[in-house]
Amino acid sequence: MGGRRRFAFCLFEYVPFGGMQDNLLRIARECAARGHLVDIFARYWEGTFPDDLNVAILQGRGLTNHSRCESFAQKLNRVLSTRHYDLKVGFNKMPGLDVYYAADSCFAAKADERGFLYRLTGRCRSYLRLERAVFERGSGTVILLLSEREKKLFQRYYGTEEERFHLLPPGISRDRMAPDNRVEIRSQLRQEITIPLTQNVVLMVGSGFKTKGVDRAIRALSSLPGSLKKNTTLLVVGDDKTGPFRRLARRLHVDDHVIFVGGRTDVPRFLAAADLLLHPSYRENTGTVLIEAMAAGLPVLATDVCGYGHHILHADAGQLIPSPFRQETLNEMLAQMLTSDRKKAWRHNGMKYVSRIDVFSRHEKAADIIEQVAGCW
């Protein structure tokens, strides 16, 4: 069965530079390029609407974020029941989905970590209801999975059927590959942000500074031995509030070694300009930036909770900070990697690894599965 289909893509909030939001747009555009009609429904949209896709805003009611999310999900189902869509594709957990893009980690597992009293809160109960609607046995929602580790957690808490999971490959842009003029780009960008070529640049990429562990990175920077600290800059690319982290840097006397540049569309230039990618995340379903760094020839130091962390080990393209996390361990590993004679090998290994595995086709494979579920083939 072929032909054009009509898809409703749904999410709670769109914010620029968000990984999940970027994937939504790329998958929506891939579906549209195949001739399908795609409408996006959101509770909140920051910034301008895309010129090539239809966006509808349905505001949820409630005093709290979780109550507004549940209200949006209910309103969305009412609206969609009056219109003909062949498939409802969700990028957040909500009832009534045909396909769910599993960008978020297992909330039930996180709730367990917070303890019994937290599970009694309205916030926890709301998000557990939304998650259960997708993952409970018999729900029928097809799950586009990003991390095998998360699948085990969902099955542990909900008994989700194996056949409902479809593992997607990483989905980086080809512009993340190390360019032939990398040295020239490195020099130009460092001139723009006034960092000497002789300075070590430790790069962090991603919005959500608290979750990504920017505080851990600043503490690790402050712990470096005198001469190494003097010769190292932490460069943070991402869209989030910087105030608490600037204050931490001032308190630890490294504020002149920490640069926040905001959300950027020219991330490949920063990958070319840096010496090490640091990703000491508290939790991370995938960590696409780890793959992007390897593609760009950048050694990686990340926490082992990152879903894509195993690629670093398989490639021998850096190191993983073991769990349970200890700040002292990160401090030691950062100093060791910045001074290691293996930096050239890590760079080479990462680029070689990315060249021989599929790291580009996430959005095409997602569109394939969406079409299959819709009965296109």
pLDDT-flagged residues of the chain (< 50):
none
Write the secondary structure of 112-132 as one string of H (helix), E (strand) and C (coil).
HHHCHHHHCCHHHHHHHHHHH
Amino acid at 194: T
Identify the pLDDT of residue 376. 82
pLDDT at 260: 97
Terminal Cα-to-Cα distance of the chain (whole angstroms): 5
* Domains 6-169+361-373 and 174-356 are alike in CATH topology: yes
Q: What is the CATH number of domain 174-356?
A: 3.40.50.2000
Domain boundaries along the sequence of the chain = 6-169+361-373, 174-356
Structure token pair of residue 266: 């020219």
Given this model, what pLDDT does residue 50 score? Answer: 94
Burial code of 261-280, b = ≥16 C-beta within 10 A, e = fewer? eebeeebbbbbbbbbbbbbb
Top-level class of domain 6-169+361-373: alpha beta
pLDDT value of position 178: 82
DSSP string, 264-317: -S-HHHHHHH-SEEEE--S-BS--HHHHHHHHTT--EEEETTBTTHHHHHHHT-
pLDDT tens digits along 284-327: 989 999 999 999 999 999 999 999 999 999 999 999 999 999 99
CB 70 within 8 A of CB 62: yes
Give, for 151, the enclosing helix (H) or strand (E). helix 148-158
Single pTM value for the model: 0.87
Give me the pLDDT at residue 158, please.
98
Name the E strands within 1-139: 6-14, 37-45, 54-57, 87-90, 99-101
pLDDT of res. 377? 65
> What CA–CA distance (Å, rounded) separates 362 from 170?
6
